[in-house]
Amino acid sequence: MKKSAGLLLFKKSKEGLLYFLVHPGGPFWKNKDLGSWSIPKGEMSDDEDALERAKIEFQEETGQEIAGEFIPLSAIQQKGGKIVYAWAVEGDVDLSSLSSNTFDLEWPPKSGKILQVPEVDQWEWFTLNEAKSKINPAQVSFLLEVQKLLESNI
């Protein structure tokens, strides 16, 4: 079973809580929006520390390091079966300063043509309602869990 680890970055603003999500790069995702965004995350091996993998993936997909209090969230299972472990952390990133690593992709499939594709092609801050429509449906529970945790601490 595949496993991933990621971080859900949030910040407080005059509009309320904002959540940082990323859009996957590459031709498959090019014209997909609703339900396609994700927390910055990546696959991990069984012997890896999940929080360390989450921090590495955040840096690879944004070019930024994140520090702070990492709040463990309940793991979820996505439609394809992948288990995703996540931590919420309060912080901020300047969208204009972000950059993603790249990977090689054969496109179209079985064509022999190799494209270098960014792992992430867009980054954005969203309100809870916007984020709920943009994020992979299985990851909505991360947003709701953070919202509930923060409301109980206010």
List, in order of start, the domains of the chain with CATH numbers: 3-152 (3.90.79.10)
Q: What is the pLDDT of residue 154?
A: 52
- pLDDT by residue (tens digit) across 90-147? 999 999 999 999 999 999 999 999 999 999 999 999 999 999 999 999 999 999 999 9
Contacts 24+ apart (CB under 8 A), 136-139: 136/35, 136/36, 136/37, 136/38, 136/78, 137/35, 137/79, 138/76, 138/77, 138/78, 138/79, 138/84, 139/38, 139/39, 139/76, 139/78, 139/84, 139/86
* Alpha carbons 34 and 133: distance in angstroms, whole number: 6
Residue in the block written with tokens 């109980």: 152
* Alpha carbons 8 and 55: distance in angstroms, whole number: 11
Contact 106, 121 (CB under 8 A): no
Q: Are strands 71-72 and 76-77 parallel, antiparallel or unpaired?
A: unpaired
Threshold 0.75, pTM exceeds: yes
